[in-house]
């Protein structure tokens, strides 16, 4: 109909270019790159001194170019998050809801059982993303389909002590990047 373009403005319809279509196609550089290391479930990456560490399932591997990945440590459940403290302590979040710092379990507030991201600020404060109050980290798709927004953001001061809730009602936070006294959350 001749009036459709004019009426579309009022109906909320528009002609748009789908993302990554036409001139905006993605490149294939990652697909074409040679494999650096072969892991069955690569997930979290971390630089620890001169080593690149990666989690895969319930293990942490040390990765070096042209060398087979070496197991650094294994855990009783899958690893969901990794971070390295300013003093060099390895911090690990597990699918079971446990948080370990330098191998020692750290008590978590009630309702924190889905650790999806960890990050240390320059001052040593530890930021923690709790993906969902209802689902585990591996059940992210169920949380997405239910349009869940029960995730939360927590902070523990460098001196230690308890975690305090900074934000709630977040839709499955999955990444943290401290910037000064603040943190970016994805």
For the chain, what are the domain ranges?
Answer: 22-185
User: Residue 136 and residue 146: Cα distance in Å, rounded?
Assistant: 14
Residue 74 has pLDDT above 90, yes or no: yes
Calculate the alpha carbon distances from 47 to 3, 35, 44, 82, 109 in Å. 59, 19, 10, 10, 28
| Options 3.40.190.10, 2.60.40.150, 2.60.40.420, 2.120.10.30; CATH of 22-185 | 2.120.10.30
Q: Does residue 16 have a pLDDT over 60?
A: no
Residue 94 pLDDT grade (very low, low, confident, very high; cuts 50, 70, 90): very high
Largest Cα–Cα distance of the chain, in whole Å? 70
pLDDT number for residue 28: 82
DSSP H helices, the chain, are: 4-11, 29-32, 140-145
Residue 118: C-alpha distances to residues 9, 17, 62 (Å): 45, 37, 19
What's the pLDDT tens digit per position in 129-182? 999 998 888 888 888 888 889 999 999 999 989 999 999 999 989 999 999 889
Report the percentage of the chain scoring pLDDT > 70.
87
From residue 8, give the alpha-carbon distance in Å to each of 5, 12, 16, 17, 19. 5, 6, 12, 16, 21
């Amino acid at each position: 109909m001749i009036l459709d373009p004019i009426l579309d403005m009022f109906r909320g319809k528009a002609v748009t270019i789908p993302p990554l279509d036409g001139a905006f196609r993605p490149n294939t550089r990652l697909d074409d790159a040679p494999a650096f290391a072969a892991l069955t479930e690569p997930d979290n990456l971390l630089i620890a001194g001169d080593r690149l560490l990666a989690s895969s399932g319930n293990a942490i591997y040390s990765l070096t170019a042209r060398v087979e990945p070496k197991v650094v440590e294994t855990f009783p459940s899958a690893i969901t998050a990794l971070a390295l403290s300013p003093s060099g302590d390895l911090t690990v979040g597990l699918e079971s809801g446990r948080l370990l710092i330098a191998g020692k379990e750290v008590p978590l507030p009630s309702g924190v059982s889905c650790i999806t991201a960890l990050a240390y600020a320059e001052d040593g404060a530890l930021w923690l993303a709790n993906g969902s109050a209802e689902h585990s980290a591996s059940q992210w798709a169920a949380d997405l389909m239910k349009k869940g927004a029960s995730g939360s953001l927590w902070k523990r001061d460098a001196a230690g002590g308890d975690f305090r809730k900074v934000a709630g009602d977040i839709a499955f936070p999955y990444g943290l990047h401290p910037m000064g006294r603040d943190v970016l959350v994805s």
